[in-house]
Each structure stands twice: as C-alpha cells, then as structure tokens.
Amino acid sequence: SGDTNYSSAYIRESIEGSLKRLQTDYVDSLIIHNPPFEILDGHKNDHYEILESLVAEGKIKAYGASLDTYDEMALFMSTTNGTVIEAFFNILHQDAARAFDLAQEKEVAIIVKIPLDSGWLTGKYDANSSFTDIRSRWTQADIKTRAELIEKVQEIIGKEKNLAQTAIAFCLAYEAVSTVIPGNSTLAQLTGNIESINKPVSKDLVTRLETFYQQEVKELRLPW
C-alpha cells in the first residue's frame, strides 16, 4: 500500500529480517526515518518499548530517528531513551543546532544528514541550474535564492577555500556532532569529503557563518 508501518510487531519482524539478510547478530543502530509528530512522541506510542527490548536482547546497539527540525529533536529526546539522531543540519539550515546542548546533556549522538544541502554546498550549481530528480520541487525563484546565498557563503569562507570541504568541516566543528553522511557519487567526491577532517574551520569562521544564517537565511525558510 506504500504506508509506513510503525507497529511493534513489524519493527521486530523488520529488524530480524535485516539481521538474517546481513548475516549478523546485531546492528549498531536502528533509525526511524522522519516519523510524523504523533509517531515521534514516546509518551503516546508503544513502538519504543520494542526498540528497548531489541537493545536489551543485543540485536541493536542503539535506536534513534532521522529528524529535520529542532522541535522534532526536542520531542524525541524528552520522551524516549533513544541515543542517536540523524539531524538535518548544514550552513543554510542551522535550526537543529538549538538542540545540540540537550543532545550532549542526554548523551545523544548526532549524525548530520544533508551536510552539503543537496549538492548546493559543493558549488556545482548556479541560478541557471535545473533538476529532474526530487530537487525538481524547487521553483526557479528557490534556485535563484540559493545561488545567491551560495555566492555569499563562498565570499565568507574565502574564494580559495573548497566549499564542500568547508561545509562538512563546519558541521564537524560542533562538539555535539559525531559524524556526517554526505552523499558521494564518485570516488573523487568521496576522497574530497574525507579530506574535510584534515581541514577544520576556525571558531571565528563558525561564528561568521552562524551570524550569516541568523541575519540572511533563517527567515527565508528555504525548502530542503
């Protein structure tokens, strides 16, 4: 039917099927992908009980959720015992950072998703770019706005700096962030992204990019 099944019975069936296919006894983490608010609330759902059972049985080491906003992250951390969040965070989408202190307090690991803003923070797109995949949802006005913002980001970090590597290093500059998961379509991209760990950004640059977001990006409410 295409419907997402969050029932306890299906979660167990799904993880046990995955373990069998992977020929392993456990997985490091089980992450629920973008659950709706009513499913996310641990006070109103029993599927977290089965996740706790799977942890106790050693079939998963941890569980968490892939989330897009501060409100979602705060709700998840305040109503469940989940210990990992896959958070939507990058230079142009910094709302999730408001939850980083709470994550550290509760010892919840943060995995940053979409650190390159669907490719924009690689510098490969401009106002004339067009898309035929999921990014086709962007209007021409959206594309023009993003292109202008990317030019400003490049000016802030310096024209000589690699934009993609700096964007990844920006995410890793936050103590709450454990790792990032950028998309890679070529070996060269993978190699370049890995090199980001050897090119940390300064606290001053982080502050300037945070100020840029607050003053010029936040109120735009960019579509992801």
For residue 11, the tally of other CB atoms under 10 A from its CB is 21
Q: Lowest-confidence range among 67-76, 97-106, 128-137?
A: 128-137
Q: What residues contact 73, with CB distance under 8 A and at least 6 apart?
A: 67, 85, 87, 96, 99, 102, 103
C-alpha–C-alpha distance, residues 12 and 1, integer Å: 20
Question: What confidence score (pLDDT) does residue 73 get?
Answer: 97
Question: What confidence score (pLDDT) does residue 62 get?
Answer: 97
- Percent of the chain topping pLDDT 70: 99
Range 39-67 average pLDDT? 92
Question: What confidence score (pLDDT) does residue 7 get?
Answer: 86
Q: Lowest-confidence range among 5-9, 102-106, 181-185, 189-193?
A: 5-9
| Average pLDDT taken over every residue of the chain | 94
Using 50, 70 and 90 to split pLDDT, how confident is the model at 112?
very high
**Domains of the chain by residue range:** 117-176+184-224
Question: What confidence score (pLDDT) does residue 2 get?
Answer: 55
C-alpha–C-alpha distance, residues 123 and 102, integer Å: 33
N residues, the chain: 224
Question: What confidence score (pLDDT) does residue 214 get?
Answer: 98
Question: What confidence score (pLDDT) does residue 97 get?
Answer: 98
Taking each helix axis as running N to C, give the angle between helix 163-172 and helix 187-194, from 0 to 180 degrees, rounded to the nearest 10. 50
Q: Lowest-confidence range among 112-126, 129-143, 180-194, 209-223?
A: 129-143
Using 50, 70 and 90 to split pLDDT, how confident is the model at 1?
very low
Shortest CA distance to 161 belongs to which of 114, 191, 122, 118?
122
C-alpha–C-alpha distance, residues 140 and 212, integer Å: 23
C-alpha–C-alpha distance, residues 80 and 6, integer Å: 15
Give the residue with greater pLDDT, 113 vs 48. Answer: 113
pLDDT tens per residue, range 135-155 = 888 889 999 999 999 999 999
- Extract the tokens encoding 50: 């089965």
Is it the case that residue 70 has pLDDT exceeding 90?
A: yes
Is it the case that residue 3 has pLDDT exceeding 90?
A: no
Is it the case that residue 100 has pLDDT exceeding 70?
A: yes
